[in-house]
Structure 1
Amino acid sequence: MPRGIGMLTSLQTLSAFVVDKDGSHGGADLSELSGLNNLRGQLKIKNLGFVKNAKEMFRAVNLKAKQHLRSLVLVWSGDGDNDDKPLEDLQPNPNLEPLLVIGWRGDAKFPSWISLLTSLVNISIWGPTKFKHLPSFAQLPCLQHLFILDLVEVEYMDSNNPNGRQGDLESFFPLLKCLHIQNCPNMKGWWRKRPIDDDNEDDTTVIGTSTMAFPCLSYLHIEDCPLTSMPLYPSLDELKLVKTSSRPLKQTLQMNITKISRSSSTPSLPLSKLNSFHGENIKELDTRILDECLRHLIGLESLTIRDCKELDLHDMEWEPLKNLSCLVIDNIPQLVFLPFGLRHLFQLKTLEIRYCSGLRSLFPVFQYLTSLEEFSIRNCNELELSEAGIQIFRDYTSLHALWLENIPKCQHFPEWLQHLTNLQQLYLIHLPNLTLLPGKMRSLTSLEELCIQQTPRLEERCRKDIGADWHKIAHIATVTIEDF
């Protein structure tokens, strides 16, 4: 930053202040922010780890006096000062709405001023840090978005057990809509337990009996974190679990069974309004657990199942998922054929299958998916796309996008392609054994885009004007041929 910037006392916009890493450039030091109290909007301060005499400099910045700032981003880098006092001295004004702290290598205690920022709507904390539990973010009345990433030593989401507070659980994150927790490998629970709670292995009892915790939560992402319970309530719209335990799903299942036995009303069931579920690399998740969980998700529209080695999907009951419109199956090695239960998915419009090394056939289910509009299948080494088997495509007049990638056993296209009269996009990627296109490609009058990549034999035959198959595709508006 240019030296003397602190003299611009009427300055209203300064999107970023970058601290000179070694002082050799003769730039402004952090104290020049002291008099810039008319700054508005967002201020990002970078390289805070390189500030010399940090305690003195941070006090000189006087962020508290900058009443017009609405967004603050504090970015550490370098070794910096490992004491927590410097961050304590960066107290901002109470009118902040978003606060982002990145790379602070602080002590085990968060600064006390966080509880004074009662207007905060969005908080993002990115590690690494040394503190083991977060402050009482739950007491911030306006907080709607909370992102916790790379806090490798944090043990609890909140330092207080909500049962120990005056009042009920309505105060526990009352307006929170979005919660993202990622790479917190030592997180034990949502709050620090009282001594009498030691026998309670997880937070199931507290979360499972009060519908006032996280009453507005609509998006929950938990990744690489050993939490064993979740705030699974009817307002939740999107759930993403990556590299976690299967215990939260088991807990949800038990909560559903308990509530169903007490009442015939379903709107209050956990996850009853879930619209999207992404499950990836979930430990000990088997077909039975997933099946029992999914049968309660009657409103689910999007489902992704990825990297779950113990699943085969064959014996699952898919009938309750009648509203499902998008299904992604990725790296499920035990999948040999499409589960027969998929025939109940009359609303399915998008189907993606990737890296299913054991998949051999799309039968007999595929013919029932008559609403399918987009079909993508990639990296399935054993899949057969023979003419005898794939004639089901004759009924697929609704299909408008087809993507085939890395299917070694795909050697030629049978004549079924002519029946895809509404097909608009066709992608043929890395099909080394595919040698030619069918003669009736010209009947695909709706086809607008054809992409051929890493398919050397076909690429040569489809060269513009000179290839042996060019006359079959000359009517297509966009033809892309790449051999990288």
Structure 2
Amino acid sequence: MPNLIRLRLQQCRRCRHFPQFGLNKLKHMEIHEMEFLEYVPEKCLKSLSSLESLEIWGCPRLTSLALGLQHLSKLVDLSIEYCEELDLSKDENGNIIISDLHGGLQSLRSVNFSHLPKLESLSQWLLQARNLERLNIEHCNGLKALPERIEALQSLQLLKISDCKELHSSKDESGNIILDFHGGLQSLRSVVFTHLPKLESLPQWLLQARNLESLQIWRCYNLRALPERIEALQSLQRLEISECDSLMSLPERIEALQSLQRLEISGCDSLTSLPEGMQGLASLTHLCISGCKELDSSKDERGNILDFHGGLQSLRSVEIGFLPKVEPLPPWLLQLSNLEHLYIWHCLNLKALPEQIEALQSLQELKIWYCPSLTSLPEGMRRLTSLTHLRFYGCRGLEERCKRDAGEDWCKIAHISNIYILP
């Protein structure tokens, strides 16, 4: 089979290690559910000189692999999952790999590590993959730190780390705070942190990623704050924070994120206020705030009424939901003269829309779901001349009042071309 291009080995129950294949034209190799496979000899991988993708899945006794990777000079994609005994820092004899891989892995573009409990830090050999673009690490509960030399991954564009329960990403392997990477990570465009329960602050190296466009932080329950120097992320266009229960505030310097277009905050139970600095988000087009039970969206950190002083003029869409402290709508919302879409859902204590709602002269769509305390509409609805779509769902107090041609509030909305009112 000298011309074989693709090979999949699965459930070969008696196989403990591989022979030298001699398949120098093989490009794609998959190793799945090899229950007794203990190691892949260096000479075996050395014979696969044309290999472009290597996928290993479900090999619970596999202990070593790394040293042979240096010979895979054409390898583009590497994926290793569910290998409970695999230590990527050691060779087949159990010795720690401390030397480099002599320039190997220069074609490597994508790496996926999943369910590797013995992965405690990123191996030094991986940091030599200077052309690596995508790195995904998930369910690696032994991972405690990212290496100080992560800046060596000069081509890295996407970094995703999820479900690593021991990760302290603000420290290196020795427990030292990482402060500066001297301008590294300039290719990084997207970072996703998901379910990192020991993450208390974002790593300082993140602030060196000056071209970062998207930052998503989900279920980092002990994250207490975003860095005050967040203004360093001048290219950031999308910021999502979800289910970060300990997050108490957003930094005032958030106003310096002049490229930010989307800001989504949800399920942050300790968040009590919004920063006045939000008024400076000149490029913001979409704002979503939901599920923050302690948030008083009408006040700043000092308890003063939040006033955006005519800022946020690029904002076109606002969504607010599951905010029990919203009784009237926050006054700053009425300053958004270019707002086109307003969605409000599950604000159980919202009692009325403000009479000044007529200030939203660009509003085209108003959608309100499950706000049972809302029982009437203001006169200002008549003057929303741009409003073409009105939707009420589960607002029982409005059903009769907005009944076509008969309800008390029908005359206030009769000019709207598309009206949907459902129980």
1:118 aligns with 2:59: no
User: Which amino acid counterpart does residue 276 of structure 1 have in structure 2?
Assistant: S
Q: Which residue of 1 aligns with 2:108?
A: 143
Q: Distance in 2 between matches of 1:103 and 1:430?
A: 46
Q: Which residue of 1 aligns with 2:212?
A: 274
User: Which amino acid counterpart does residue 209 of structure 2 have in structure 1?
Assistant: L
Q: Distance in 2 between matches of 1:304 and 1:296?
A: 17
| Alpha-carbon contact 2:337-2:362 (below 8 Å) kept | yes
**Pairwise CA distance, 1:329:** 2.0
Quickly say closer, same or farther: Cα 1:476–1:72, change in 2 above 3 A.
farther
Q: Which residue of 1 aligns with 2:336?
A: 396
Q: Which residue of 1 aligns with 2:154?
A: 215
Quickly say closer, same or farther: Cα 1:82–1:448, change in 2 above 3 A.
farther
User: Which amino acid counterpart does residue 430 of structure 1 have in structure 2?
Assistant: Y
Q: Distance in 2 between matches of 1:480 and 1:100?
A: 51
Q: Which residue of 2 aligns with 1:238?
A: 190
* Identical pairs, percent: 27
Q: Distance in 1 between matches of 2:198 and 2:296?
A: 30
Q: Which residue of 1 aligns with 2:37?
A: 83
1:370 aligns with 2:344: no
Quickly say closer, same or farther: Cα 1:308–1:53, change in 2 above 3 A.
closer
User: Which amino acid counterpart does residue 172 of structure 1 have in structure 2?
Assistant: Q
1:184 aligns with 2:140: yes
Q: Which residue of 2 aligns with 1:339?
A: 275
Map residues 166-177 of structure 1 onto 2, 5 A cutoff.
172-177=128-133
**Pairwise CA distance, 1:438:** 4.4
Quickly say closer, same or farther: Cα 1:235–1:436, change in 2 above 3 A.
same
For 1:106, which of 61, 73, 91 is the aligned residue?
A: 61
| Alpha-carbon contact 1:339-1:365 (below 8 Å) kept | no
Quickly say closer, same or farther: Cα 1:122–1:459, change in 2 above 3 A.
farther
User: Which amino acid counterpart does residue 236 of structure 1 have in structure 2?
Assistant: L
For 2:327, which of 371, 376, 384 is the aligned residue?
A: 384
| Alpha-carbon contact 2:352-2:376 (below 8 Å) kept | yes
Equivalent residue of 1:139, what SS? coil
User: Which amino acid counterpart does residue 343 of structure 1 have in structure 2?
Assistant: Q
Equivalent residue of 1:351, what SS? strand
Superposed CA offset, 1:45-92 (max 9, x none): 59x34x555579x98xx987594x75555543xxx6233369999979
1:252 aligns with 2:205: yes
Q: Distance in 2 between matches of 1:455 and 1:95?
A: 64
**Pairwise CA distance, 1:469:** 6.0
Q: Distance in 2 between matches of 1:480 and 1:98?
A: 52
Q: Distance in 2 between matches of 1:70 and 1:474?
A: 66
Quickly say closer, same or farther: Cα 1:65–1:404, change in 2 above 3 A.
same
Q: Distance in 2 between matches of 1:343 and 1:248?
A: 25
| Alpha-carbon contact 1:155-1:189 (below 8 Å) kept | yes
Q: Distance in 2 between matches of 1:88 and 1:278?
A: 39
Q: Distance in 2 between matches of 1:393 and 1:159?
A: 51
For 1:421, which of 339, 342, 361 is the aligned residue?
A: 361
Q: Distance in 2 between matches of 1:63 and 1:430?
A: 64
Unaligned runs of 5+ in 2: 91-99, 173-177, 299-304
**Pairwise CA distance, 1:463:** 6.8
Q: Distance in 2 between matches of 1:99 and 1:459?
A: 60
Q: Which residue of 1 aligns with 2:94?
A: none
| Alpha-carbon contact 1:295-1:320 (below 8 Å) kept | yes
Superposed CA offset, 1:428-472 (max 9, x none): 222122234446646545445444333344456667788776676
Superposed CA offset, 1:105-140 (max 9, x none): 232123876444322222222225321226889831
Q: Distance in 1 between matches of 2:235 and 2:70?
A: 38
| Alpha-carbon contact 2:364-2:388 (below 8 Å) kept | yes
Q: Distance in 2 between matches of 1:292 and 1:432?
A: 39
Deviates more, 1:82-91 or 1:392-401: 82-91
For 1:355, which of 291, 302, 318 is the aligned residue?
A: 291
Superposed CA offset, 1:205-247 (max 9, x none): x55xxx5x10111221222331544886222222222316547
Equivalent residue of 1:295, what SS? helix
TM-score (norm 1): 0.67
Unaligned runs of 5+ in 1: 1-33, 163-170, 191-202, 254-268
Give the CA RMSD over aligned residues: 4.1
Equivalent residue of 1:359, what SS? coil
| Bigger share in helix | 1
Quickly say closer, same or farther: Cα 1:98–1:480, change in 2 above 3 A.
farther
Q: Distance in 1 between matches of 2:44 and 2:86?
A: 17
Q: Which residue of 1 aligns with 2:122?
A: 157
Equivalent residue of 2:287, what SS? strand
| Alpha-carbon contact 2:41-2:68 (below 8 Å) kept | no
Q: Distance in 2 between matches of 1:110 and 1:123?
A: 12
Deviates more, 1:410-419 or 1:109-118: 109-118
**Pairwise CA distance, 1:333:** 2.7
| Alpha-carbon contact 1:343-1:369 (below 8 Å) kept | yes
Aligned residues: 391
Map residues 313-332 of structure 1 onto 2, 5 A cutoff.
313=249, 316-332=252-268
User: Which amino acid counterpart does residue 177 of structure 1 have in structure 2?
Assistant: E
User: Which amino acid counterpart does residue 294 of structure 1 have in structure 2?
Assistant: I
User: Which amino acid counterpart does residue 273 of structure 1 have in structure 2?
Assistant: N
Quickly say closer, same or farther: Cα 1:140–1:406, change in 2 above 3 A.
same
| Alpha-carbon contact 2:319-2:342 (below 8 Å) kept | yes
Q: Distance in 1 between matches of 2:360 and 2:339?
A: 7
**Pairwise CA distance, 1:322:** 2.6
Equivalent residue of 2:74, what SS? coil
| Alpha-carbon contact 1:453-1:459 (below 8 Å) kept | no
**Pairwise CA distance, 1:424:** 3.1
Quickly say closer, same or farther: Cα 1:434–1:153, change in 2 above 3 A.
same
Q: Which residue of 2 aligns with 1:409?
A: 349
**Pairwise CA distance, 1:146:** 1.2
Equivalent residue of 2:122, what SS? strand
